[in-house]
């Protein structure tokens, strides 16, 4: 990891980009405080297709369970239950 001031970063921008392309992290500072962090772009996906499919399946299952609860509780039943408890 490299840390450079803004003035130096402006002067060496192309060289810093090359470092980032090679996998290096570059931090740019202003008055000693980090204001920018340059990181290499990930070339491979963070999540796999299998993970996406599994997550979508879980979402579908959740939707189905919510739908069944809503369908089971029609407004007339809910009104009767509300009157019975009050």
CA 29, 33, 36, 38 torsion-angle sign: positive
Give the model's confidence band at 62: pLDDT under 50 very low, under 70 low, under 90 confident, else very high.
Answer: very high
Q: What phi and psi, each to the nearest 5 degrees, are found at residue 12?
A: -115, 25
Q: What angle do CA 17, 20, 23 make, to 5 degrees?
A: 155
Express as a percent the part of the chain with pLDDT over 90. 60
Whether pTM exceeds 0.95: no
DSSP SS3 for 42: coil
pLDDT tens digit sequence for 31-61: 999 999 999 987 676 788 899 999 999 999 9
């Amino acid at each position: 990891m490299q840390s450079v001031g803004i003035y130096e970063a402006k002067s060496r921008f192309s060289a810093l980009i090359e470092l980032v392309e090679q996998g290096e992290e570059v931090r740019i500072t202003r008055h000693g405080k980090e204001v920018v962090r340059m990181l290499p772009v990930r070339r491979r996906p963070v999540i796999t297709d299998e993970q996406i499919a599994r997550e979508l399946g879980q979402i579908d299952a959740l939707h189905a369970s919510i739908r069944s609860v809503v369908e089971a509780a029609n407004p007339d039943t809910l009104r009767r239950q509300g009157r019975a408890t009050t």
